[in-house]
């Protein structure tokens, strides 16, 4: 990594705060909020400072991996894309479009390339099975709220003196 200040966007959540990353002797020496960022204006939360730990984590994946009988095995990107395309096509052909499930969430919804490519990709797959943080943890709350109190929205949940469940 080149020495100097690198201006980037924190991809950990939808706030997308601007960060200024100082690199000295090829290592990250500080991470601060970018005061010139028009949205965050210098604000960052503690998670952005921890980006350094993610970057330096010895267990961070640096290449695609696949599971084999003898454990995880690194592979090249071209090989990984070919394998995924082959398996998706094979699964869709054999079991139908809804046999493929898709999960969308952080950080792929904050990545420009992903934002541009995801919708056409999902349309091409044609599956109705799409999952997200909402479908995994918010919708069950809303269902429980509705079944318990007759109120469909968590944000309008109110305490009932005569609970029904
Ligand atoms: S700095 Fe914190 S609030 Fe801002 S995008 Fe990163 S995780 Fe989200």
pLDDT band at 123 (very low <50, low <70, confident <90, very high): very high
Which tokens in the block code for residue 153? 């929205």
pLDDT of 164 reads 44
Q: Is the CB of 47 under 6 A from ligand 1?
A: yes
pLDDT, one tens digit per residue, over 59-115 is: 999 999 999 999 999 999 999 999 999 999 999 999 999 999 998 887 777 778 888
If you take atom 2 of ligand 1, which residue's CA is the nearest one? 45
Better pLDDT: 69 or 160: 69
Locate the ligand 1 atom nearest the alpha carbon of residue 44 and give its number.
1
* Residue 101 Cα to ligand 1 middle (Å): 28
Q: Which of 51-60, 94-103, 116-125, 143-152 has the lowest mean pLDDT?
A: 143-152
**Mutate-to-test residue for ligand 1 from 8, 44, 51, 110, highest number of ligand atoms within 8 A of CB:** 44
pLDDT of 152 reads 64
Better pLDDT: 42 or 135: 42
- Is residue 31 within 8 A of residue 48, CB to CB? The reply is yes
pLDDT band at 158 (very low <50, low <70, confident <90, very high): very low
* Residue 46 Cα to ligand 1 middle (Å): 8
d(CA 26, CA 16): 25
d(CA 139, CA 10): 27
Q: Global pTM?
A: 0.68
Q: Delimit the domains of the chain by residue range.
A: 4-56, 98-165
The whole-number average pLDDT for the span 114-131 is: 91
Q: How many residues does the chain have?
A: 165
Secondary structure in 3-state letters for 46-101: HHHHCHHHHHHCCCCCCCCEEEECCEEEECCHHHHHHHHHHHHHHHHHHHCHHHCC
Q: 4-56 architecture in CATH?
A: 2-Layer Sandwich (3.30)
d(CA 165, CA 157): 15
**Mutate-to-test residue for ligand 1 from 17, 31, 42, highest number of ligand atoms within 8 A of CB:** 17
């Amino acid at each position: 990594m080149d020495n100097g200040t690198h201006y980037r966007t924190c991809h950990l959540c939808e706030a997308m705060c601007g960060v200024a990353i100082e690199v000295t002797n090829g290592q990250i020496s500080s991470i601060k909020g970018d005061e010139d960022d028009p949205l965050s204006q210098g604000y960052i939360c503690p998670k952005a400072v921890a980006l350094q730990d993610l970057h330096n984590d010895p267990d961070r994946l640096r290449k695609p991996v696949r599971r084999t009988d003898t454990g995880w095995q690194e592979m090249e990107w071209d090989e990984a894309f070919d394998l995924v395309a082959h398996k998706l096509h094979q699964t869709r052909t054999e079991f139908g479009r809804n046999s493929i499930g898709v999960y969308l969430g952080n950080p792929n919804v904050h990545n420009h390339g992903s934002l541009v490519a995801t919708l056409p990709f999902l349309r091409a797959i044609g599956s109705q099975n799409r999952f997200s943080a909402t479908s995994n943890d918010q919708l069950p709350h809303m269902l429980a709220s509705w079944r318990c109190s007759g109120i469909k929205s968590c944000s309008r949940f109110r305490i009932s003196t005569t609970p029904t469940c």
